[in-house]
A and B are shown apart, each in its own frame.
Chain A
Amino acid sequence: MLRFVLGRLAVLIPTFIGVSIIAFAFIRVLPGDPVMLMSGERVMAPERYEKISHELGYDRPLPVQYFDYLTDVLSGDFGSSIVTKRPVLDDFLTLFPATLELSLCAILLAVFIGVPAGVFAAIKRGSFFDQAIMSTALVGYSMPIFWWGLLLIILVSGTLGWTPVSGRISLLYYFPSVTGFMLIDSLLSGQAGAFKSAVSHLILPTIVLGTIPLAVIARQTRSAMLEVLGEDYVRTARAKGLPPFRVVGIHALRNALIPVVTTIGLQVGVLLAGAILTETIFSWPGIGKWMVDSVFKRDYPVIQSGLLIIAGIIMLVNLLVDLLYGLINPRIRH
């Protein structure tokens, strides 16, 4: 097992360097210039342009800039935003808990509804339920997030008035951020109603962000279950008189879960991509919105370091998924 873990870790190093090159090069390949954008319609004099570019180090050759950047990153310095002038890591750490909280809720929703729905559809293959579940999943998968989010806001918040429109908590509540997770902080604050307000603010964004992963997981679970349910050992289990619950829940599901876990792992990337739109619609102060704003402003340090940190997180999650396989299916360890 240790060799397996070390082997996986060794692969991460070249991947990480590769990502850093792509992140660095990506934003510089795009047309646009952060210094030029500072002055908007107002034209900046060429000598001032040069002065500011020099201060920011953008007049040096690209390989030199990259090498300095990599050295800084390895020493833990991710640079400061050109726009807000704040350190990128500070902003990331402030904003990331919001994205993480939303993503965790979304993935929990997707797993706790998607897996049982997929299992149920597989058992009742061809029935009305199967068709209803799979059609709903297809609709969910194809739904444009922006449209879906606005639709829910207009219906649930606007017309019915059941949930707040946007934000993380009612503006009436104001307390120190301890963990950055609003659900936990609202409980710690001890203010009456704060937790309830935080939950009510989470409902719609969780549904919107969880929709696509939910659909994918339900479909994946169904097809994996169908495959497993046709296996000989399942027939044997049935034949020896095990109750259906044990056959499906223990013998079949455990084996069907391997591709499902892979899918869930891959959904982390989907969640972070979906977070960009979901956070924009629900004014959710997370890293998705932060990255998009930075791309528009060509805020090089934020984009390159932000991408690098996010890629690092996705790599770690995939590593964890690989390790989880080992637990679910011991054969993979070898």
Chain B
Amino acid sequence: MKGLEQYKESAAQIRKLMTSVLIIFMLAVTVLVYLLIDPTLTAFSSETTDGDYETTSDITDEDYDKIEDGIHLRTGFVEGDGLMLVVNNCTNCHSAKLVTQNRMSKERWTATIRWMQETQNLWDLGGNEEPIINYLATHYAPTQKGRRQNLSNFEWYDLEE
């Protein structure tokens, strides 16, 4: 009988332990899911651009994501909805230059993201995917070039023969 008591006691302890582990795990999952949806924790910040954060006294931090004349200086991306999502998700492996020199439709930007996910270890973008694709397809859309364009990539100079 004593053995059964001991067994019941340890079973209760294990159940308690398992419950705690489960609760901690659920909490971790909740935090993670939240971060996936809102990786920049915007819901917790009272202001979005400037404010009285202690970090604003640090000039390099302030300049880190400076935008001038509609260009995000650090990366060269144009200013627009979804800019920081693109900066944070699309410049980890390759530089922004690989993005900004390309022009693609929404369909082809999506296909490019799929290709990177299938072969280049790009992660699941979750809820960020739509704003990222919208940003790319809006600001880096193809223009009609035709079969041959006028020469334009030169400057006139005097040639002494």
Query: Are A and B physically bound partners?
Result: no
